[in-house]
Structure 1
Amino acid sequence: MKTPLSIACLAGLVAVAPPHLAHAADAAAGRIKAAACRTCHGIDGIAKIPIAPHIAGESEIYLQTQLKAFRSGKREHEIMSVIAKDLSDEDIADLAAWYASIRISVELPE
């Protein structure tokens, strides 16, 4: 049974849902779109060049925030600013879903 308090809590959560989650991200579409990212970040999210970060398994929210910052000019990088400027919110959500869906493992040295 739902109490008035639990209903109010659920309503509050819906009311404050981040707007970047409005699009249902599609990781499969993100994989296709990631073809443009593969030179630097790899299709697997493991950087192929020394100046690019590994992005496999990063948080979807983090990836979306960074791509939107590059797109808006809030964050600048000579390559990423150019690439991100033409990305739609859907593109960003899909790319973030793809790279966030990649599972990586870590093995600590003895």
Structure 2
Amino acid sequence: MACNRELVITFLLLPAFLPIPVIAEGDASAGKAKSITCAGCHGPEGVSTNPMWPSLAGQKEQYLVKQLRDFRDGRRHNPVMAPMAKVLSDQDIENLAAYYSSLDP
């Protein structure tokens, strides 16, 4: 019975010692400032007029974060996007995603 009691106490106290994950939040206004480079292909306000490049306006924020990180980290390949994303910090990516996801498609 003592073993069960110790086990219960351990599981109850365990969360107090686990690190709390930090969830980055993007700043849409900072993303807008950073988006000037993106506008060359993806269009002003994230609406592309060229079918070769997707519109970014209205995309889901987490989708944009994943795609940009994949380009940056070499998990997704594209000769244009890879070098563009290579210079982005995690915060830049969060900011861009917040900006584009806040726009109407």
TM-score range normalised by the length of the shorter chain: 0.7 to 0.9
Unaligned stretches of 5+ in structure 2? 1-14
Do the aligned residues in 2 keep the contact of 1:27 with 1:101 (CA within 8 Å)? yes
The CA deviation string for residues 32-55 of structure 1, in whole angstroms up to 9 with x for no partner, is 000010010023111133310111
1:24 aligned to 2:59?
Answer: no
Quote the residue 2:34 is aligned against: 33
The structure 1 segments of at least 4 consecutive aligned residues displaced by more than 4 Å after TM superposition are none
The structure whose residues are more often helix, as a share, is 2
Quote the residue 1:44 is aligned against: 45
- Structure number with greater CO (CA < 8 Å, separation at least 6) is 2
Return the letter of the residue paired with 1:56: A
Quote the residue 1:89 is aligned against: 90
1:65 aligned to 2:75?
Answer: no
Quote the residue 2:102 is aligned against: 101
The two structures have a TM-score, normalised by structure 1, of: 0.73
- How many residue pairs align between the two structures? 88
Return the letter of the residue paired with 1:24: E
Do the aligned residues in 2 keep the contact of 1:67 with 1:84 (CA within 8 Å)? yes
Quote the residue 1:4 is aligned against: none
- RMSD of aligned alpha carbons: 1.9
CA distance in 2, matches of 1:16, 1:52: 38
Identical pairs, percent: 41
